[in-house]
């Protein structure tokens, strides 16, 4: 039975659209500390959200002490995940509420949660004021063998004021040392830090009641499942702007971690992406408008930082950026011209590569698909020429056929999903009609999404390239290609998001007229409910497990930290009955030979060796919890890291026939980053092409 067309259009959203906006919920507080209280709207929303989740969410979580403790722990962690603001005595007091918070949400009794938030604000302001007071007076000795424990998540909360003060003096020393290593003299460093800390204090006055409410509701919804979300009116506007896929800025989704504004995702085709200098987990430490002075944004709340980074099309923003593994004392400066980012118009792109396989030249067409997009308004208006992923890819395939390519690689790396309709229709370009995906709703009713178009656009050899950030609709497409035996899947295990969400405008539900989430009239916000789960036609869920490739690359981003399996409240993997479909080919007998040829090429391959080294280095850095406060040791560590990084880059360049780069020199302009995984994927699909022709 076909899934209704509107379900295809609106039910499945990309994982990044949901998770990236969740970053807005936890903001670093920002001169006067005011005492916050819930208003009547928040009290009513609390009751309504609990009722909606209890009655309509796919995952049924009974209200009780177990749920209450989850909500409480999530909320406590959102306020002080590094355990540097609250004392143990604060937590002992809060613990008395740990089994009551669920009942309080049901009744709309939010004062106990706001009490926790108010204490957090007071502690935060006190610590910043403490560091400002220490700046003029404390002489710091950077010759001591001393370290700062910057990751305290697993340590106990502090017991005494002396212990707390000692930690924050070390934090101050760490900030000064980083500026010292960058060549700033002590007086200038102290002036810089004073401005930074005063900026943090100035932001506290901007914290409002809705910030506290958002933190509380996020703690609640995250206890249910990672893709059920409540958005307060401001965040609802941001979410829907993102869903409308239109903004002016640099094209990067941001998050907040450990006092840093960081890159959560880079919009394909946006200014940040085109610069080739910004990547996931990069830290933005300062922002300047055009040729203006830099404003330090370390510790800023995320929405304030976004206001500085976003701006009108054609204007320039300069960013001080610290990449993963790079020393914070030595940020790079990047200049980016803002553009109009219309995500619907971030179209699929093509490229043709010529490879040699067994002495033969083969042409491989590459289709890079950044998202499963569609112009929903044009479709609903009956416009037969509405823009969509499937339409764009069909045109690309026609051009690749005209160029007489031998095989096609569909690149879905970092594709967080989008329209379910597009996942089904795109699959239909590569096979005749048949089931593509199964969806089970809250009543256990199963509907099958089918491709009902008997035509086929590309019937030749193909591969799908995925990575850890290929999610949702990407997984539907890759899974269908794999289940039919239509092509080979290359890359790493995908994200594992196998759930379907529906957005509910609370203003409309509660009978408030004239609501517009995009504008400023929304009073109650919105909730995204998980309403269903989708399954492969083989019956297996993609939830949690994602799609496993036929030929694997090493996983750069750990599954322990990234993906659905890293989410504590994620729905489990399960199976339903197999759909009625017939495999087009059984490629299992070919896999062993394909893997063997791939592994043979990797032996002695410098790019592959360095990829493995980079993975080990990233894991090592992720495991680190301390930083030295000894100047000589810190400088030695920084210089060694920079030298090793430069040496690895130059080895890679020499292996590709490029000249090495000297320390401090920029890469040549116009030089494209080398995409090792894509290059190897073309060779793998070449092996596949020759294997099936035998």
What does the alpha-carbon distance between residue 323 and residue 24 come to, in Å, rounded to a whole number? 22
Catalytic residue among 497, 533, 545, 597: 497
What does the alpha-carbon distance between residue 160 and residue 88 come to, in Å, rounded to a whole number? 9
| pTM of the entire predicted model | 0.77
Q: What is the structure's pLDDT at 83? A: 97
* H helix runs in 502-630, sequence order: 506-509, 588-602, 606-623
Catalytic residue among 30, 282, 483, 507: 483
What does the alpha-carbon distance between residue 621 and residue 302 come to, in Å, rounded to a whole number? 24
What does the alpha-carbon distance between residue 13 and residue 499 come to, in Å, rounded to a whole number? 9
Averaged pLDDT for residues 333-353? 81
Query: pLDDT of 259-274, one tens digit each?
Result: 789 998 888 778 998 8
- Would residue 483 show up in a list of annotated catalytic residues for this protein? yes
Pick the CATH number of 246-342 from 2.30.42.10, 2.102.10.10, 3.40.50.720, 3.40.50.150: 2.30.42.10
Average pLDDT in the chain? 87
Percent of the chain whose predicted confidence (pLDDT) is above 70: 91
Averaged pLDDT for residues 353-359? 88
Averaged pLDDT for residues 563-569? 91
- Would residue 472 show up in a list of annotated catalytic residues for this protein? yes
Q: What is the structure's pLDDT at 307? A: 78
What does the alpha-carbon distance between residue 116 and residue 92 come to, in Å, rounded to a whole number? 12
Catalytic residue among 68, 472, 541, 579: 472
What does the alpha-carbon distance between residue 475 and residue 284 come to, in Å, rounded to a whole number? 31
Query: pLDDT of 630-669, one tens digit each?
Result: 999 999 999 998 898 898 888 888 888 889 998 888 888 7
The partner residues of 361 in beta bridges, in order of sequence, read 356
Query: pLDDT of 229-259, one tens digit each?
Result: 998 877 776 665 554 345 678 988 888 777 7
Residue 25 above 70 pLDDT?
no
Contact 527, 52 (CB under 8 A): yes
- Would residue 614 show up in a list of annotated catalytic residues for this protein? no
Query: What are the domain boundaries of the chain?
Result: 28-206, 246-342, 346-601
Q: What is the structure's pLDDT at 377? A: 65
Element at 545 (helix H, strand E)? none
Query: pLDDT of 392-429, one tens digit each?
Result: 999 999 999 999 999 999 999 999 888 888 999 999 99
Element at 191 (helix H, strand E)? helix 186-202
What does the alpha-carbon distance between residue 118 and residue 138 come to, in Å, rounded to a whole number? 30
Element at 220 (helix H, strand E)? helix 209-224
SS3 content of the chain, % helix, strand, coil (to 5): 45, 20, 40
What fold characterizes domain 346-601?
A: 2-enoyl-CoA Hydratase; Chain A, domain 1 (3.90.226)
The confidence band for 688, taking pLDDT boundaries of 50, 70 and 90, is: very high
Residue 558 above 90 pLDDT?
no
């Amino acid at each position: 039975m076909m899934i209704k067309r509107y379900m295809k259009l609106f039910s499945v959203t990309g994982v990044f659209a949901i998770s990236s906006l969740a970053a807005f919920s936890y903001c670093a507080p920002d001169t006067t500390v005011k005492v916050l209280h819930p208003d009547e709207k928040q009290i009513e929303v609390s009751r309504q959200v609990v009722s909606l989740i209890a009655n309509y969410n796919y995952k049924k979580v009974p209200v009780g002490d177990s749920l209450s403790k989850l909500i409480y722990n999530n909320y406590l962690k959102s306020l002080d995940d590094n355990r540097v603001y609250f004392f143990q005595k604060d937590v002992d007091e809060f613990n008395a509420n740990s089994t009551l918070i669920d009942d309080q949400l049901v009744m709309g009794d939010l004062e106990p949660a706001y009490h926790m938030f108010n204490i957090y604000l007071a502690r935060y302001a006190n610590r910043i004021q403490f560091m400002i007071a220490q700046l003029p007076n404390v002489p710091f000795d950077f010759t001591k063998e001393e370290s700062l424990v910057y990751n305290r998540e697993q340590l106990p909360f502090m017991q005494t004021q002396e212990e707390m003060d000692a930690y924050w003096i070390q934090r101050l020393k760490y900030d000064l040392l980083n500026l010292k290593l960058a060549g700033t003299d002590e007086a200038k460093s102290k002036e810089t830090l004073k401005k930074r800390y005063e900026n943090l204090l100035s932001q506290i006055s901007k914290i409002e009641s809705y910030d506290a409410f958002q933190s509380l509701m996020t703690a609640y919804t995250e206890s249910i499942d990672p893709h059920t979300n409540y958005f307060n009116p401001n965040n609802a506007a941001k979410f829907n702007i993102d869903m409308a896929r239109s903004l002016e800025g640099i094209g990067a989704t941001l998050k907040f971690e450990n006092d840093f504004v960081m890159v959560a995702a880079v919009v394909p085709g946006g200014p940040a992406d085109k610069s080739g200098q910004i990547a996931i987990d990069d830290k933005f430490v300062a922002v300047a408008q055009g040729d203006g002075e830099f404003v330090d944004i370390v510790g800023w709340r995320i929405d304030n930082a976004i206001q500085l980074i976003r701006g009108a099309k054609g204007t320039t923003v300069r960013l001080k950026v610290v990449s993963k593994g790079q020393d914070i004392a030595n940020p790079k400066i990047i200049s980016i011209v803002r553009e109009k980012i219309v995500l619907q118009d971030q179209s699929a792109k093509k490229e043709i590569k010529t490879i040699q396989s067994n002495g033969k030249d083969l042409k491989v067409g590459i289709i890079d698909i950044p998202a499963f997009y569609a112009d929903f308004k044009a479709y609903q208006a009956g416009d037969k020429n509405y823009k969509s992923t499937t339409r764009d890819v069909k045109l690309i395939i026609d051009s690749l056929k005209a160029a007489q390519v031998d095989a096609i690689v569909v690149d879905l790396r970092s594709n967080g999903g989008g329209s379910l309709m597009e996942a089904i229709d795109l699959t239909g370009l590569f096979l005749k009609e048949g089931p593509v995906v199964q969806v089970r709703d809250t009543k256990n009713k199963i509907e099958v999404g089918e491709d009902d178009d008997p035509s086929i656009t590309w019937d030749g050899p193909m591969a799908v390239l995925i990575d850890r950030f290929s999610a949702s609709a990407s997984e539907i497409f890759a899974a269908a290609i794999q289940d039919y035996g239509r092509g080979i899947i290359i890359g790493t295990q995908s994200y594992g998001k196998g759930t379907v969400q529906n957005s509910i405008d609370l203003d409309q539900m509660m009978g408030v007229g004239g609501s517009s989430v995009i504008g400023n009239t929304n009073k109650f916000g919105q909730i995204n409910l998980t309403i269903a789960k989708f399954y492969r036609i083989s019956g297996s869920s993609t939830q949690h497990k994602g799609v496993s490739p036929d030929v694997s690359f090493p996983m750069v981003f750990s599954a322990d930290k990234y993906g659905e399996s890293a989410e504590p409240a994620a729905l489990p993997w399960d199976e339903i009955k197999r759909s009625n479909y017939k495999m087009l080919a059984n490629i299992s007998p070919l896999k062993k030979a394909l893997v063997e040829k791939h592994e043979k090429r990797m032996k002695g391959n410098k790019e592959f060796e360095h990829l493995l080294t980079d993975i080990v280095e990233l894991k090592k850095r992720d495991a680190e919890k301390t930083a030295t406060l000894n100047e000589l040791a810190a400088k030695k560590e920084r210089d060694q890291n920079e030298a090793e990084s430069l040496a690895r880059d130059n080895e890679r360049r020499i292996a590709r026939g490029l000249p090495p780069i000297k320390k401090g020199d920029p890469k040549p302009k116009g030089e494209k980053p080398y995409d090792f995984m894509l290059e190897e994927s073309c060779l793998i699909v070449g092996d596949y092409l020759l294997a099936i022709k035998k």
